[in-house]
Each structure stands twice: as C-alpha cells, then as structure tokens.
Amino acid sequence: MDDDYEEEYPGITPDQQEQMVNGLGSVRAVLGSEAGGGLSDKDIKDSLWYYYFDVEKTVEYLLDQQHKKNAAKEKAAVQKKQKAQSKAATPATTRPGTPVAGQAPVGAKKKAAPSGEAPSAATAKADDKKLSQAQQDMQNMGLADEDDVYVQEDAATLPTVSVAKEKILEDLKRQEREEGYKPTLSMVVVGHVDAGKSTLMGRMLAELGEMTEREVNNNQRQSDRMGKGSFAYAWAFDAMPEERARGVTIEIGIDSFATPHRKFTLIDAPGHRDFIPNMISGAAQADTALLVVDASRGGFESGFGEGGQTREHALLVRSFGVQQLVVAVNKLDAVGWDQTRYDEICAQLQPFLIQAGFKESRLTFIPCGAMTGENLIQRRTPELEAWYSGQTVIQRLDTLAVPERALEAPLRIPVANVFRGQTSGLSGLGVSGRIESGIVQVGERLAVLPGDETGVVKNIEVDGETVDYAVAGANVTLYLAAIDPIWVNVGCVLCEPSRPIPLASAIVAQIVAFELKFPLTAGSAIELFHHSKDTPGVIAKIEATLDKATGEVLKANPRMISKGASARVQIKLRPSGSSAKRSSIPIETFASSKSMGRVLLRRGGETVAAGIVLELLQ
C-alpha cells in the first residue's frame, strides 16, 4: 500500500488505490487539456474520494467549480473596469466619495432623477448600498472572495406581488373542496442511534417509487464497496462522506412522499446525542413524528435506558407541540417476529409516552422490519401475520389528522438553513425553513429579524417544485434578492415589515423539568433553544413552582427546581461571542403564537426542561 495515499486518505484500501489511479486517468481523459489544465492531481483525487470514485459525478463537480471560478473572474474584471471608468469620469477637484451634480457616487445604485433636476447629496447617500460597509472593509483588507460580494440588484428587475392574499385564501378553500385534494403534513423521524431510522425511510421511499432503481443500485454498490452493504437504503438520506464513513446521520435530511390521502414532507433527524441540536432543528419543523425503536436484544434497552436517545427524542418532539406519534418497532425480524418481545417493548414505552404528554388515543405501535420492508407498505411474512392484523406504517400515516393552519396570522418563517442559489433560475440568497403562520408569495418584501434589513422574494420552492406562493405548514426554500447575505443567519425569522415579530432579551416562561442530574437554581447557566436558534442564557429568577394539572402556585420563590417539577421562571439571555451586549431573539408569547412561543433548555449536553413563553420582558 502506498503510504502517501494512506496519509492523505486514511483507511483507503489497495483496491481503492487502484480505483483512484484509474479514476484519475479517466477524469483527465474526459476533461482534456483545456478544461483540466488548471486542476492538480490532488484536486481530482479529492473529488474522486468524495464521490466514491464515481467518474461521472467527479467530472460534473469539477466542471461546475471551474465554471464558478471563471464567472467570478469575469465578474471581477467587469467591476474593475466599471470602477476605473467611474474614477475617470470624476473631476480631479472632487474629493473621493463626494457626489457630483448629476452623477451618482462610485458604487451607488443609479436612480432616475426628475427632468432638469440633479439628485441631492442626501439621495445619493441613501442609494449608496451596493456594498455593505463591512464588506467594503473586508474587500479593502483582501479578505472577501469575489463570490461573497453583495451587489444590489436593480429594482426594475425584481418581481412584484401579483395576487392579493385574500385571493390566495379563496383558492386554498376551493382546492380543499376538490376531489383528490391531499393536505400536507411535516413528519420528523426520530429515535436512538442505529435504530434504523434512515434505512426505514429509504426503504419506504424506494417501495413507494420515490427513488429510482438506478439510485438504489448505485447506493448498494457504493455501500458494498465500503463494507457497509446494510446501509444502502440509509444512504438515500445520509449523503455526506462523514455520515457514510461513520454510519450515523449528522445533518437533517429532507424528502417528500405521498400516500393515497396525504402529502408528507419527511425530516430524517440524527439519533446520536452529539447531534441533538440538529435533531431539535428538525423536530421544530414537524407536525407529527415517527419514533423508531430497535427491537433486537439489547437494542431497545440501550435506547430506552439511561443515556439513550429514545426517551429524550420523545420528550423533545412533544415539547415542540407534536401530538400524534407513530412508534415503529423495528428489527423484529432479528428476534424471529416474536410477539412477546413486541408486547414487552410496548408495555415499557406506552406509560412513559403518556407521562410525557401524549394521549393514548394518538399513540400507535406498529411492528416492522426496515431491511426487508416488512409491514411498511404491505405484509409478506407469515410469522408476523400469525399474530398481527393491524395497520402498516403507510396505512397509519395516511389517516393522521392534519392540524389547523394559521393562514391569516402574521407571517413567521424561522430560518433553518442559509445558502447561495447556484443556478440561473434559482439565484440569489437561499433560505429554508417552515412557514409557521401566514402566507408568502413571490415579489413580497420581507423583513429579517433581528436587524432592520429587508429583501424581496424572487422564487419559492416547495418539495422541489417552483411555486408562486406558499402557506403555513409548508417547508419552503425562498430565494431572496435586494438584501445583503451577511444579515441573514440560521435562527433569524422572516416576517412582514408591517407586522414584525417582537425581539426579547429576557422572558418569563412556564417550564417542566426533565431528568436532572442536579437541580435547577437561580443563576443556572443554560442554552435556550428556540426553533433552530440556540442562545446562551441564565435562569435569573425562579418565581414559583406550579401544579402541573391546574397551574396554581405551590410555592413562591423556591430555591430550586427538581426533577419533574413545573415552575415559572425568568430567563435572561447572555452575551454571545466577544460582544458585551446581551443577545435579543425573535420570539412571541405562547398566547400570541403557539409555534413561536415554545422553548427548550439544555445544560451540559442534556435537555433539562421545556416550556412555553408567558411574557416578554425586554
């Protein structure tokens, strides 16, 4: 084995080294001297390693990167030329940056002035927003890439709102009355690591026809090549190299599928405790949940016992308002479809879930085997049919109740992801998240909070399809224009400028404590989770402990909150990073918005409490 390969690509086998050498030659042959001249062998080998020696995907990726570099160079050249022309047109007696009558300042957006009237200095200054000050400073220091430079778009090219929201509401009501209408639900798949969540959903998508045979076979070949043949269906979601190498889900994966009477946005959440923040982000976007448990000997006990994620995940999804829970008792084939084992697991889980807040009528237990696809869509195993005659997983999902949507409430879209649109049709700043309330449409101007910036919606995607508008309950991707990307981050909330979401740096919350190693006291440092945003905070004051059933005060100003107790507390956010100023987050009271008024508290890597916001203090 070549030591250089082993050093650059830890774990590479002799067969993979041979694939690397052959792949390098194949890529060079496809690209030729012109396209591949600027690429080093290291660039190509890194791409081959990333795409598991798939020459076609490697070539596609490298060509795309070359195109981006060339476009950036052309863009830089045009900007340099425009800047030089602007300087040449400026009189020598004018100080740099001083507006000249009839001429916009360098870098300013040109705006038509009334006939015979030059724009004033104040107008020119207000329009000088092609580059933010922060980005200008970064450019001057040589720290900004050309692709990161924000250029203000011409207002004339931006889309405008074409339909009144009242008309959209009428269309929605008409669609609901039409035959064949399918309401949409968001479902998060949760459970302990190695319970088989990704495999179950990958197999289900394949049997529903949502994955092509080619995709399934490609995943099978690549997983076999890495000695992980049993992960083939899981790779429908676990696409990152690290996820495939470690055999665990790290980031949330999103897909969609349909049953005879429902449409689903599927959110595959990580099961490993190291990635709970990512799981929380997925759970915050869900209407319902599928809890996958491992029925193998020792598997269920590992997930449900101390340190397992079965308990924590169930508590988390309930804390975010999920009321319907389907429990898939997976890997029953590993115990010979033993009914006694299934009954044992149900007997332990059901009391815990009811205590966590789920109603018995909204809990469903279903035996299944993800690897073989048994009881996902249909039953084929006589050993299971001998004692189980209930619904399959898909049959149960098809009958789930759809929650009422807050269509006429103010628009609220918590941002779960931010990226740059890469295609000509879907360019601009991309943000994704779930619409908690309201309606958003192309051409609408949205405010981004915290901050005082606004942007215009250029495009909207729902389940991979471009649409003119989207409504509460949808998981969307918006492409924004006329806004500097540095002001948009995960945890921000998009809303209407006329009906903004409040900001607060301190709140009063009613919480319920979970499993606690140590009691919560005044002064306890915590991490406050609100949708995809986590912010350092402190329990400033414990106002009272409460009766769980009635909410009546049991004790005022107690010293601590113990396991299972309910309490009313004041929480203050702490400064984050090097800033001495306390953070403010976009948040609402539970009375104003149920979805925007829920919070989680974590400490030392564990979820210690969850609750609702009663009051915004600052």
Of the candidates 231, 234, 255, 314, the residue with the CA atom closest to the CA atom of residue 279: 314
pLDDT tens for each residue of 288-320: 999 999 999 998 998 898 778 898 889 989 998
Residue 521: the pLDDT is: 93
Q: Would you say residue 116 lies in a domain?
A: no
**Cβ contact 378:395 at 8 Å:** no
**Other beta carbons less than 10 A from residue 404's beta carbon:** 8
Point out the domain boundary residue: 69, 93, 116: 69
Mind giving me the DSSP string for 212-273? Answer: -HHHHHHHHHHHHHTT-GGGTTGGGT--SHHHHHHTS--S-EEEEEE-SS-EEEEEE---SG
Percent of the chain that is helix, strand, coil (3-state, to 5): 35, 25, 40
Instruction: Indicate the pLDDT class of residue 329, thresholds 50, 70 and 90.
Output: very high
Instruction: Indicate the pLDDT class of residue 211, thresholds 50, 70 and 90.
Output: confident
Same domain, 61 and 193: no
Q: Residue 287 gets which letter from DSSP?
A: S
Residue 137 has pLDDT above 90, yes or no: no
Q: Would you say residue 89 lies in a domain?
A: no
Same domain, 520 and 386: no
Residue 237: the pLDDT is: 60
Residue 29: the pLDDT is: 75
pLDDT tens for each residue of 585-602: 999 999 999 999 999 999
The CA angle 254-503-446, to the nearest 5 degrees, is: 55
**Other beta carbons less than 10 A from residue 439's beta carbon:** 22
Q: Would you say residue 320 lies in a domain?
A: yes
Consecutive H or E run containing 513: strand 506-513
Query: 3-state SS of 3-25?
Result: HHHHHHCCCCCHHHHHHHHHHHH
Averaged confidence pLDDT in the chain:
80
Residue 395: the pLDDT is: 96
Same domain, 491 and 507: no
Q: Would you say residue 335 lies in a domain?
A: yes
Point out the domain boundary residue: 47, 69, 91: 69
pLDDT tens for each residue of 534-581: 999 999 999 999 998 888 999 999 999 999 899 999 999 988 655 556
* pLDDT top residue among 60 and 333: 333
Residue 340's CATH number:
3.40.50.300
Q: Work out the angle between the directed axes of helices 55-89 and 14-36 (0-180°, nearest 10).
A: 40
Report the b/e string of 568-578 with b at 16+ CB within 10 A. bbbbbbeeeee
Same domain, 191 and 333: yes
Same domain, 269 and 417: no
Q: Would you say residue 76 lies in a domain?
A: no
CA distances from 128 to 107, 125, 132, 154, 445 (A): 7, 5, 9, 13, 20
Stated length of the chain: 618
Q: Would you say residue 52 lies in a domain?
A: yes
CA dihedral of residues 554, 559, 564, 565 (deg, nearest 10): 20
Residue 224 has pLDDT above 60, yes or no: yes
Q: Quick one: how far is CA 157 from the chain centroid?
A: 30
Point out the domain boundary residue: 345, 362, 397: 397
pLDDT tens for each residue of 279-291: 888 888 899 999 9
Residue type, 562: S
Residue 409 has pLDDT above 90, yes or no: yes
Q: Would you say residue 475 lies in a domain?
A: yes
Residue 150 has pLDDT above 70, yes or no: no
Q: Would you say residue 166 lies in a domain?
A: no
Mind giving me the DSSP string for 534-603? Answer: EEEEEEEEEEEEE-TTT--EEEES-SEE-TT-EEEEEEEEPP-TT--SPP-EE---TTT-TTTSEEEEEE
Dist. CA 190–CA 602, nearest whole Å: 18
* pLDDT top residue among 533 and 276: 533
Same domain, 378 and 422: no
Same domain, 384 and 463: no
Same domain, 450 and 423: yes
Low-confidence winner among 147-161, 250-264, 495-509 (lowest mean pLDDT):
147-161
Residue 609 has pLDDT above 50, yes or no: yes
Structure tokens at 308: 């397992």
Region 152-178 average pLDDT: 81
Beta strands in 322-443 (DSSP E): 325-330, 363-367, 413-422, 427-434, 439-441
Same domain, 241 and 390: yes
Contacts 24+ apart (CB under 8 A), 580-585: 582/505, 583/505, 583/535, 583/536, 584/450, 584/503, 584/504, 584/505, 584/618, 585/450, 585/491, 585/503, 585/504, 585/505, 585/528, 585/530, 585/533, 585/535
pLDDT tens for each residue of 103-123: 333 333 333 333 334 444 444
**Cβ contact 431:494 at 8 Å:** yes
Structure tokens at 34: 């012109």
Number of domains in the chain: 4
pLDDT tens for each residue of 261-270: 999 998 877 7
**Cβ contact 600:551 at 8 Å:** no
Q: Tokens 């779960």 — which residue?
A: 416
Same domain, 453 and 526: no
Residue 89 has pLDDT above 80, yes or no: no
Region 464-481 average pLDDT: 92
Same domain, 491 and 516: no
Q: What percent of the chain has pLDDT over 90?
A: 43
Q: What percent of the chain has pLDDT over 70?
A: 75
Dist. CA 77–CA 153, nearest whole Å: 18
* pLDDT top residue among 266 and 366: 366
pLDDT tens for each residue of 19-48: 888 888 888 877 766 555 678 888 888 888
The set of residues, in sequence order, having a beta carbon less than 8 Å from that of 460 and lying 6+ positions away, is 440, 441, 442, 466, 467, 468, 469, 470, 476, 477, 478, 479
Low-confidence winner among 197-206, 404-413, 485-494 (lowest mean pLDDT):
197-206
Residue 385 has pLDDT above 90, yes or no: yes
Dihedral pair phi/psi, residue 86, rounded to 5°: -65, -40
Residue 609's CATH number:
2.40.30.10
Region 72-84 average pLDDT: 62
Same domain, 480 and 526: no
Domain that holds residue 427: 413-495
Residue 13: the pLDDT is: 79
**Cβ contact 502:580 at 8 Å:** no
